[in-house]
Amino acid sequence: MKMFSSVRSPYAPQKSLVGKTVCVTGAGGFIASHLLERLVREGANVRGLLHYNSRNDWGRAERIPADIRKSIRFTMGDILDPSQLRKALTGCDYVFHLAALISIPYSYDAPEMYVSINVQGTLNILETCRKIGIQRLVHTSTSEVYGTARYVPIDEKHPLQAQSPYSATKIGADKLVESYYNSFALPVVTVRPFNTYGPRQSARAIVPSIIAQALTRKMVAIGSTTPMRDLNYVEDTVDGFIRAAVTSKADGQVFNFGTGKDISIGDLAKKILALIGNDVTLTTDKQRIRPTKSEVMRLQCDSRKAAKILGWKPRHNLDEGLLNTIAWMRENIQHFKPTVYSK
């Protein structure tokens, strides 16, 4: 197994992953691409399950450095097909479940698809892991399951509130995972990243949407400026995933990953424009504004549980993470469509 060094990495290596076989579902996604890269660097035997398409398009995994990417065994498939899942996951020690439909605005248009993929797909993962036997399943949740904060910072005991079809399906998936731990003693951990951002993210998300527009236009369109978000850099989120997988005391538990600091979308946009340095005007685009009761107005993370049990803490502040993201997007702006609103 070829070992890859992490140059000036702020993250402690996890020796327990060396030589282990791991699979990441949703391998074409933004966070998944960084997780795959980190797992290879940790010395694991890495598999990636990609959603089948006739173009043989690997999504964000295409952006993984070539020397790392060639060490990953990619399989095209679908989490809605149990037979394919059994082939993909058999022999795995760890499974990281990231496959999901994630766009909130699109969930207004296609709620049935969200139920199918996020709920039934997660059930298929759980059943497969139960039948084949694994060391641990790390399930990806989201801070959106909390809805608008009833108190801040939001800890793992905060009530779950379904303010969109997307969040409802993620709550359903989380509860299925909980039930498999309680009913079948399946070794599972649920991680709830707050708003993750960084290189390779699509313009569906707020940070790359603002950056892509600011780098190419004189006007940046956003939705509501008042919602507050806790933004976590992608490499820090991935470190949380890794720690959740290898920490023995994590079984059956839920962990939040966030910085504990929130910022309004309006102030975030102003910060990004200042860092880029372009003379750009901010404007409100009505189609980007969510229904009033569906908009989550404030998310601020309490990650003390992750710090205590997993030894996790964020290593990047917001300015550092944004500058890294801006630099990457400058080099890859040809892959974005700044004039098109991406749901």
- Give the phi and the psi of residue 281 in degrees, each rounded to 5: -100, 135
Residue reference for tokens 């404030």: 298
Residue reference for tokens 């199918």: 116
Q: Is 7 exposed, middle or buried (0-12, 13-18, 19+ CB in 10 A)?
A: exposed
Query: Which active-site residues does the annotation give?
Result: 166
Report the relative pairing of strands 188-193 and 72-77 from DSSP bridges.
unpaired
Cα–Cα nearest to 75, from 63, 94, 90: 90
User: How many residues are there in the chain?
Assistant: 343
Q: Does the bond joining 153 to the residue before it have cis omega, within 30 degrees of 0?
A: yes
Cα–Cα nearest to 272, from 202, 332, 213, 341: 213
- The residue type at 266: G
Cα–Cα dist 303/306, whole Å: 5
Name beta bridge partners: 229. Answer: 263
Cα–Cα nearest to 187, from 62, 258, 68, 94: 94
Cβ neighbors of 313 (< 8 A, separation 6 or more) are 303, 306, 307
Which sign does the torsion angle of CA 44, 251, 100, 299 carry? negative
